[in-house]
Amino acid sequence: AIDKTTDNIARNREGFCSLSLSFYNSAVKTLTIAEYETSIINFEYYKQVVPLCDSTTNLKKSEIDFMMALATMFEDNFSLVRTDTGKCKLIDTTSFMKAKEAYNKVLMIEPLNVKANYNLGVLYHNFAVKLLMNMPPDGSIDDLICIQDRADKLFKEAAPISVHMYGILKDDDPKKYDFAVLLQQLATNMNETEKESYYIKEVERLKAIQGK
């Protein structure tokens, strides 16, 4: 900032390259449940420093890659927590909320990111299924109704994301098949028989087109 001469910038570039690499490696190393906050801090420093090393660096792609890795890490650590307080005895974990947050950050950068949209739909679907499969045997009627309601809301949140992406993908795109399968599962879980029948046919149609 003090000396912006060409020679000074050239001399310092090597240092910034080394520093940005260190921050990036530290972000990767600390990408764990125990240290994810440090990982995020390191990645933010990387974003600040790397343009001083290489002004052509695609920060948008780097951020998407990092957020996808962060979301996947949280998904891998997803579990349900039992509680004796409140109306529902099964509550969502920090891992579910953090994975959702990371995917949404990707979609803020790139709304039509196919993988992030698909993974977010699957996240909602899998969390709802996990809630239903783990209903407490000692739960009251109110508990069971509450859990069922929460699962239904999650299925409904997954549906519009999946329908939108399914509509814009071409028939030969493998992800369109994946979205068709997800939409079939959502329709089944929401007892929407007409939609279920439609997506069963779509799954078979896409399977034939894509040679699956």
Nearest-angstrom CA–CA distance, 166 and 121: 12
pLDDT of residue 85: 59
State pLDDT tens for residues 38-90.
999 999 999 999 999 998 999 999 999 999 999 999 998 887 777 665 667 77
Whether the Cβ atoms of residue 106 and residue 118 lie closer than 8 Å to each other: no
Where does 56-142 show beta strands of DSSP type E?
81-82, 90-91
Residues 160-207 pLDDT 10s:
999 999 999 999 999 999 999 999 999 999 999 999 999 999 999 999
Residue-level pLDDT at 12: 86
By percentage, how much of the chain surpasses pLDDT 90? 73
pLDDT at residue 137, rounded to an integer: 78
